[in-house]
């Protein structure tokens, strides 16, 4: 499986590459981002954290694991990655099939909603999925808003340890039928 390039009005979602390591390291090493993520993400974030992460993801993709991994790039920019979306269409859904983060200087501009719209289109129109699950820390209001704006339906709570000390996460389902109805 190859991650396709996707485009929106303001963004290019291109496949993750080793050349993205410096930008990911610079933007992701931020407590305001990591505090909402599962405790498996190291904190403090190590100096080689982005390189380790990217190499592991690229190895999984090379090994044929069903994983799509995009970096977000502003159109008309120098091509620097400002965020990331990973999508595992056939995961068991216990922790969700899709995750994302966006560099803090780009928050509150609707960029992640725009990017997730493109990924949802890919999931339902190109892959033909019927549904998939997404999760977020219960205190992550921005992530919740993205899910609400992109057709996700709240289904309940799950337990998942986060860096902030909380263990309560929201679980959502994104259904093809509802997505397509909302897009028309």
**Does the structure show a pLDDT above 70 at 94?**
no
* Distance linking the first and last C-alpha atoms of the chain: 29
**Spatial contact of 184 and 55, defined as CB atoms under 8 Å apart:** no
Q: Domain containing 26 — which CATH number? A: 3.40.630.30
Rounded to two decimals, the pTM is 0.94
Placement of tokens 């120098």 in the chain? 78
Summarised one tens digit per residue, pLDDT across range 18-46 is 999 999 999 999 999 998 888 888 999 99
**Does the structure show a pLDDT above 90 at 71?**
yes
Percent of the chain residues topping a pLDDT of 90: 79
Domain count, the chain: 1
Chain mean position to CA 19:
19
**Spatial contact of 158 and 135, defined as CB atoms under 8 Å apart:** yes
**Spatial contact of 154 and 145, defined as CB atoms under 8 Å apart:** no
**Does the structure show a pLDDT above 70 at 93?**
no
Mean pLDDT of 94-103: 86
Domain span at 17: 6-129
Mean pLDDT of 58-80: 94
**Half-sphere exposure for 82 (CA within 13 Å, toward CB):** 19
Within a domain: residue 1?
A: no
């Amino acid at each position: 499986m190859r991650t396709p390039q996707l485009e929106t009005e303001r963004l290019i979602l291109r496949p993750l590459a080793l050349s993205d390591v410096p930008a990911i390291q610079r933007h992701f090493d931020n407590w305001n981002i990591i505090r909402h993520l599962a405790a498996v993400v190291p904190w403090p974030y190590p100096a080689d954290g982005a390189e380790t992460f990217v190499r592991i993801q690229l190895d999984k993709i090379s090994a044929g694991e069903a994983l799509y991994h995009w970096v977000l790039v502003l159109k008309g920019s120098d091509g620097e990655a400002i965020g990331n979306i990973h999508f595992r269409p056939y995961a068991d859904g216990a922790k969700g099939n899709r995750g994302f983060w966006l560099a803090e200087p780009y928050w509150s501009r609707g960029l992640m909603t725009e990017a997730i719209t493109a990924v949802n289109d890919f999931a339902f129109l190109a892959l033909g999925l019927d549904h998939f699950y997404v999760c977020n820390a219960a205190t992550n209001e921005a992530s919740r808003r993205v899910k609400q704006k992109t057709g996700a339906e709240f289904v309940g709570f799950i337990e998942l340890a986060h860096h902030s000390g909380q263990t309560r996460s929201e679980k959502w389902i994104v259904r093809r039928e509802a997505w397509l109805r909302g897009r028309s």
